[in-house]
């Protein structure tokens, strides 16, 4: 679907030189229509000058089924070391941070505490589409090892971007598959 956006020139002319700070202002001012990003961008665009009521947020369809899936991705993680000398205090801080600090609202996130309702109005709009939230699962460690050996930067967006703008999509996939197969063989998998 992203390739269709590029092919129809519904996106910037040069995706590789986008300036993040400038692009927030472009969306905030209405010069650009939308981002294909996560909910964390909502307060940043509002902070760049957009009125909250002018910013929407919706699950992007990936097919014509009428069903929406939304991948869940964590921000930074916090925890308490089992060897902490101040475990009770550390646990109290984590509970405060997660349940009372307002970090989720300030950052445009869904609350970690499932008993809380998101305070960001755009998330209510998003949830009205009844998306199925999909949580990541740990991958086989060989996956990351093969990707590293193949020098395929998975999870960074660069592979996606290369595929989106590839002149010959089949060749681009063939090249990735060849790099993967070579790395896998060299690692003995």
User: Is residue 142 over pLDDT 90?
Assistant: yes
- Res 135: pLDDT: 84
Residue 37, CA atoms < 13 Å, CB-side half-sphere: 17
- Res 72: pLDDT: 84
pTM of the model: 0.72
- Per-residue pLDDT band for 36 (boundaries 50, 70, 90) equals confident
Closest to 70 in 3D by CA, of 123, 4, 8: 123
- Res 113: pLDDT: 80
User: Is residue 138 over pLDDT 80?
Assistant: no
Whole-number average pLDDT of the chain? 89
H-state helical runs in the chain: 2-7, 20-29, 41-47, 87-99, 103-107, 121-127, 141-150, 158-165, 169-186
3-class SS of residue 133: strand
- Res 19: pLDDT: 80
Token code pair at residue 3: 């390739």
Residue-wise pLDDT tens digits, 86-125:
999 999 999 999 889 988 888 888 888 888 888 899 999 9
- Res 73: pLDDT: 77
Kindly give the pairing relationship between strand 69-72 and strand 132-135.
parallel
- Res 81: pLDDT: 93
- Res 1: pLDDT: 75
Residue 83, CA atoms < 13 Å, CB-side half-sphere: 0
- Res 151: pLDDT: 96
Residue-wise pLDDT tens digits, 56-93:
999 988 788 889 999 887 767 788 999 999 999 999 99
Indicate the length of the chain as a whole number.
189
Mean pLDDT (whole number) for 146-160: 90
Burial of 29 (C-beta count, 10 Å sphere; 0-12/13-18/19+): exposed
Token code pair at residue 187: 């690692």
Q: Which residues of 71-92 are buried (b: 16+ CB within 10 A; e: fewer)?
A: eeeeeeeeeeeeeeeeeeeeee
Give Cβ neighbours of residue 96 (< 8 Å, ≥ 6 apart): none
């Amino acid at each position: 679907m992203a390739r269709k956006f590029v092919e129809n020139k519904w996106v910037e002319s040069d995706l590789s030189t986008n300036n993040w700070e400038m692009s927030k202002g472009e969306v905030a001012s209405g010069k650009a229509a939308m981002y294909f990003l996560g909910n964390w961008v909502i307060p940043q665009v509002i902070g760049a000058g957009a009125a909250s009521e002018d910013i929407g947020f919706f699950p992007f369809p990936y097919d014509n089924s009428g069903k929406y899936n939304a991948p869940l991705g964590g921000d930074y993680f916090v925890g308490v070391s089992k060897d902490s000398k101040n475990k009770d205090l550390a646990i109290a801080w984590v509970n405060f941070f997660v349940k009372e600090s307002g970090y989720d609202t300030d950052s445009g996130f869904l609350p970690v505490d499932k008993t809380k309702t998101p305070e960001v109005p755009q998330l209510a709009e998003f949830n009205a589409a009844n998306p199925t939230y999909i949580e990541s699962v740990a991958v086989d460690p060989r996956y990351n090892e093969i990707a590293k050996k193949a020098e395929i930067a998975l999870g960074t967006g660069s592979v996606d971007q290369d595929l989106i703008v590839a002149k010959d999509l089949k060749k681009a996939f063939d090249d990735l598959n060849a790099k993967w197969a070579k790395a896998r063989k060299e690692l003995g998998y």
